[in-house]
């Protein structure tokens, strides 16, 4: 039986909402929807959906590395944007990391994210064979 490992960041929302940054079970890691906020709770890439996307992917990479995974193990991304017209900026940043990996992905426009300063949120699924 695989052991469950919850990966927390210590953000106050984790206990309030009842979630953690990621869950690692066996060969799978699921990373919660992530926005461009750093360890101090500060926004990264203000006003730039491209910079926010890059920051989020780098943040996910750090989480994956904590449990012996890498971006190469990502099989699925779900990208939520508040302005689908800016898809090319998001796609350019996503492609910089995933051009050769090519996970399944979706990009979905939503009416809002957790705060108006956040332009993109991404979920990740990684599986190690």
Q: What is the pTM of this model?
A: 0.95
Domain carrying residue 12: 4-127
The CATH number of the domain holding residue 79 is: 3.30.1330.40
What distance in Å separates the CA atoms of residue 52 and residue 13, rounded to the nearest whole number? Answer: 20
Contact predicate 28/125, CB 8 Å: yes
Query: How many structural domains comprise the chain?
Result: 1
Q: Bridge partners of 46?
A: none
Per-residue pLDDT reduced to its tens digit, 11-58: 777 889 999 999 999 999 999 999 999 888 899 999 999 999 999 999
Residue 64 has pLDDT above 70, yes or no: yes
Q: What is the DSSP letter of 13?
A: H
């Amino acid at each position: 039986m695989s052991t469950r490992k919850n990966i927390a960041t210590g953000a106050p929302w984790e206990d309030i909402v009842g979630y953690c940054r990621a869950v690692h079970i066996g060969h799978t890691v699921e990373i919660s929807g992530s926005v461009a906020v750093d360890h101090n709770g500060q926004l990264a890439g203000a006003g730039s959906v491209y910079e926010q996307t890059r920051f989020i992917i780098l943040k996910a990479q750090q989480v994956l590395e904590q449990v012996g995974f890498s971006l190469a193990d990502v099989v699925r991304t779900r990208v939520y944007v508040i302005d689908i017209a800016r898809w090319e900026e998001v796609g350019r940043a996503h492609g910089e990391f995933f051009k050769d990996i090519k996970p399944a992905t979706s990009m979905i426009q939503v009416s809002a994210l957790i705060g108006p300063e956040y332009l993109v949120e991404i979920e990740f699924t990684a599986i190690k064979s």
